[in-house]
Structure 1
Amino acid sequence: MTLVKMRFLAVCTALAAAAALTGCGGQSAGSGGGSERVTLWLMKGSASDDFIARFTADFEKQHPGIDLDVKIQEWKGIGDKVNAVLAGKGGESADVIEVGNTQVAQYVETGGLSELTLEGLREWGSKDWLKGLSDPGSINGAQYGVPWYAANRVVIYNKDLFAGAGIKTPPKSRQEWIADTQKLDKGDQQGIYLPGQNWYVLAGFIWDEGGDLAVETSGQWVGTLDDEKALAGMEFYKQLQGLGDGPKGADEETPPQSEVFARGQVAQIIAPPGQAAQIEAANPALKGKLGFFPIPGKTPEKPGAVFTGGSDLIIPEKTAQRAHAVDVITALVSEKWQTELARTMSYVPNKTTLAHVVDGNDGAAAMASGAAQGRATPKSARWAEVEAKNPVKAYMTAVLNGQDAATAAKKASDTVSRVLSSDR
């Protein structure tokens, strides 16, 4: 829920674009009198009704003469709706749109996004943005997606089972993690429940080793699961997965891992901290007995790499309200509203410098610590097609079932390469 190139050229381009916009004033045709309407599309579930109401009232108070119209969108089918807005077709319009951080590349390929490099540098503190959000929104050094919020996986653990195994503090390195999990894996108790196809977790282990899922070389994307660094990440996944009874041929939703954990005989799962609420709902006896820690890294100095999910904000090139759209983003990414959103929704703020605002929330604090090492999937507009076929899942199951890792990885890498390089 990443890579920047040609930064100097991008900034120069942005400066030129800004100068051109200044010349035309950036106002809509209806700005001669009365209120101007600015439309913000947010995705269902991203922010509470109360947050939206308070933000809207504050924004309109700070910007007299502007009516902010917030429209909630469903994730299903959103790609076609956004593309229609970017193309100026379909009858709907928006001035600011929330999109998934890994979706930006496909919208850049489609065309119609406004470049926001200069505003990011000058107004929004882009040097402190979480890379897992900012890098997917940057294409060839030009920034199109502005980080809004992040969410990533942490380790949720059963405090009673840890205490019973004599573990007083959560592990901070892979070596400590394996040693603790071995102590916890005994009898009917699972040291960790890790399904065989949780490829987001595998991606983090691969990144920790210095590998990647795919890389771009001379404009061509190539799958790299068969790289020795990526293979090392898979080997660690196999070692950890073997310290529990997670199914080798299923992901974390089959069955839902929160339900398995709620039975009380699983010491750890890897999940967004929000799953704690699902666990407690399924087994109220576990309330107050759940803890959180960042996925450990190779050394104690920093947490492990994690896949960063979350949202970016984009501005369609065809908007007649670009200046006001910039004002909306300026407000949404301000410290005030980043703090409000993070505390209301238990998200990670968009900047490393704001991680402290969730210190009172154990789950969100663990997530924020891990987010500093956040990454995203390859910035190919066709990565969604890879996920649809998901050769990574099949590869993981093959290895866990005893197939030669290098052979299985080569097969998966070839599929990734073919999908990313094929013409649509």
Structure 2
Amino acid sequence: MRRRLIALLCVTGSLVSGCGMLPGGHDRKTVTVWLMKDSASKEFLRRFTADFERTHGDLRLDIRIQEWTGIVEKVRAALRPGADDGPDVIEVGNTQVPLYADDGRLVDLTLESMRDWGKEKWLPGLAQPGRDGNKQYGIPWYAANRVVIYRKDAFERAGITRPPKTRDEWLADTAKLDSDGTQGIYLAGQDWYTLSGFIWDEGGELAREKDYEWQGTLDTTAALRGMDFYRRLQALGEGPVDADEEHPPQAGVFAGGKVAQIVAVPGLAQSVVRQNPGLKDKLGFFPVPGRTAGRPGTVFTGGSDLVVPQNTGDQFAATTVVGALTGAKWDTELARTMNYVPNKTSLAGAVAGEEGVAAMAAGAAHGRATPNTPQWADVEADNPIKEYMTRVLNGADPAPEARKASRAITGKLAPDVG
């Protein structure tokens, strides 16, 4: 939102400790930016702010840190026409963009992204949910996704000399690891994000849009093949079939020392080592294997996009900030600082030196996001995919259970009438 500063400038959100006189005594436009807690370090934001204000002498940044809890309603309120003191740039979860774009309250950034933002190299799992038809509302910022975290010593004991490259190799290796009191893999029965990748690898979808209506598609032949692979892999461990990866937290299970592999974001390894320091230097990472050796498996891509509200007081200034944050220089710096995947496949080399992040980047190149509809949030709120997975893993016939789950998804994706 456009504001005038006469004498003092403060960058909020506890990013700097004080305020000072503006150089030269002249006024500058202030661009208010909402970023989420822990998305970027304070030091990164200090450096970015200093560089941006040095190279854009007519602009100042007011960066305000937000909590994820309750953010959807807070953003919706800020996007309302006439909202006072709202932000000019907002960081949103990549799969949240449809929630806000659906109201027509975001700026269409298609022209800016086509000019010089390198959109042809964007990670698909960030770019696709930021798009509605031919309009690009969300600009990819950073990504994170699941990889396989494994015990190097367990692989050595099993005679496995390199991480598997294909899903068939992964099953065979996991079967070797599943012995002598060690689970070959700990995979909770309701880890539907991991299942989604297997379904996408088979050419299936969680849901498809046809004639402007969304339908659940877990009952297609391709989606059933993905569930069958999940069933076979999950059976090579003792993950609970009626719970997800957070119940109990899989980091704690892995830290117990009786698990050879888990599927998780690489950062979870830090929690594992904190709980079991003896595993330091014993953990490795590899991309989720694909159907063939030439391509890693498809994975769900999480992360953030940047959006610009329609009610911004200065669209040009707002898009200038977006371009700087998502440009190669600072996007690469953010990825290195925070162990993220950069927003473009062409920048993956910037994180090649970190084994876990490099494994993420390999998967992110083929990453996906959940179906691009604002109603998908209703699916996740009471997720029929989880119940479907539990029933199949308990021995139920997959086909009728998939049809039942697909009908439930279709019902949740139907827009409210009246």
Give the TM interval when normalised to the shorter protein. over 0.9
The structure 1 residue matched to 2:132, chosen from 135, 139, 143, is 139
Counterpart amino acid of 2:243?
A: A
- 2:276 maps to 283
User: For the Cα contact (< 8 Å) 2:286–2:359, is it kept in 1?
Assistant: yes
Residue of structure 1 equivalent to 2:340: 347
Residue 384 of structure 2 is aligned with which of 383, 391, 397? 391
Q: Which residue of 2 aligns with 1:372?
A: 365
SS at 1:375 equivalent: coil
- Using the TM superposition, give the Cα deviation of residue 90 of structure 1 relative to its aligned residue in structure 2, in angstroms: 5.0
Q: What is the aligned-residue RMSD (CA, Å)?
A: 1.4
For the Cα contact (< 8 Å) 1:132–1:307, is it kept in 2? yes
1:234 correspondence with 2:227: yes
**Equivalence for 2:324:** 331
**Matched residues in 1 for 2:306 and 2:415: separation?**
29
SS in 1 for 2:102: helix
Q: Tell me the CA shift for residue 111 of structure 1.
A: 2.3
1:95-131 per-position Cα deviation (integer Å, ceiling 9, x unaligned): 0000000011111112210000011110211000000
CA distance in 2, matches of 1:354, 1:222: 36
Q: Is the 8 A contact 1:156 1:270 kept in 2?
A: yes
| Secondary structure at 1:414 match in 2 | helix
2:63 aligns with: 70
46-55 vs 81-90, which moves further: 81-90
| Rounded Cα–Cα distance in structure 2 between residues aligned with 1:201 and 1:268 | 14
Residues paired across the two proteins, number: 398
Deviations 1:267-309 (A, max 9, x none): 0000000001000000001001100000000000000000000
Q: Secondary structure at the match of 1:407?
A: helix
CA contact (8 A) 2:195 2:230 kept: yes
Match of 2:15? none
2:43 alignment partner in structure 1: 50
Secondary structure of the corresponding residue to residue 310 of structure 2: coil
Matched, 1:79 2:77: no
In structure 2, C-alpha distance between the alignment counterparts of 1:234 and 1:29, rounded to whole Å = 54
Of 233, 238, 242 in structure 2, the residue corresponding to residue 249 of structure 1 is 242
Counterpart secondary structure, 1:71? strand
Deviation at 1:404, TM superposition (A): 0.7
Percent identity between matched residues is 58
How far 1:37 sits from its partner (Å)?
A: 0.7
Whether the 8 Å CA contact 2:3–2:29 is kept in 1: the answer is no
**Cα drift, residue 320 of structure 1:** 1.2
Q: What stretches of structure 1 move > 6 A for 4+ residues in a row?
A: none
Q: Which residue of 2 aligns with 1:218?
A: 211
Residues 327 and 403 (structure 1), Cα distance of their counterparts in 2 relative to 1, 3 Å cut:
same
**What TM-score does the superposition give when structure 1 sets the normalisation length?**
0.92
Secondary structure of 1:374's partner?
coil
Q: Deviations over 1:122-166 (max 9, x none)?
A: 021100000000000000111000000000000000000000000
Deviation at 1:409, TM superposition (A): 0.6
Distance 1:252 1:140 in 2: 34
- Who is 2:308 aligned against? 315
One of 395, 398, 401 as aligned partner of 2:394 = 401
Question: Which residue pairs with 1:184 in the alignment?
Answer: 177
- Distance in 2, matches of 1:122 and 1:402, equals 53
What displacement does 1:224 show? Answer: 0.2
Task: Give 5+ residue unaligned stretches, structure 1.
Answer: 1-26
- Alpha-carbon offset, residue 91 of structure 1: 3.4
1:235-293 deviation digits (Å, cap 9, x = unpaired): 00000000000000000001110111111110000000000100000000100110000
CA distance in 2, matches of 1:321, 1:401: 56
Aligned residue type for 2:390: T
Counterpart secondary structure, 1:222 = strand
CA distance in 2, matches of 1:37, 1:384: 34
Amino acid at match of 2:349: H
User: Matches of 1:361 and 1:45 in 2, distance apart?
Assistant: 20
Given that residues 100 and 311 in structure 1 are in contact (C-alpha distance below 8 angstroms), is that contact kept between their aligned partners in structure 2? yes
2:406 paired with 1:416: no
Provide the rounded CA distance (Å) in 2 between the counterparts of 1:39 and 1:395.
44
2:81 to 81, 88, 91: 88
The one-letter code of the counterpart of 2:153 is D
Partner of residue 22, structure 1 = none
1:157 alignment partner AA: Y
For the residues of structure 2 that align with 1:214 and 1:168, how far apart are their CA atoms?
39
| Contact 1:28 1:320 survives alignment (8 Å) | yes
Contact residue 86 and residue 111 of structure 1 kept, 8 A: no
Aligned position for 1:361? 354
Answer with 310-319 or 85-94: which moved more. 85-94
| Cα distance between partner residues in 1 of 2:316 and 2:84 | 22
In 1, the alpha carbon distance for the partners of 2:233 and 2:2 equals: 57
TM-score by length of 2: 0.93
Unaligned runs of 5+ in 2: 7-25
1:129 matched to which residue of 2? 122
Q: Of residues 121, 140, 162 in structure 2, which corresponds to 1:169?
A: 162
Partner residue of 2:104?
Answer: 111
Equivalent residue letter for 1:380: T
| Structure 1 contact 181–243 (Cα < 8 Å) conserved | yes
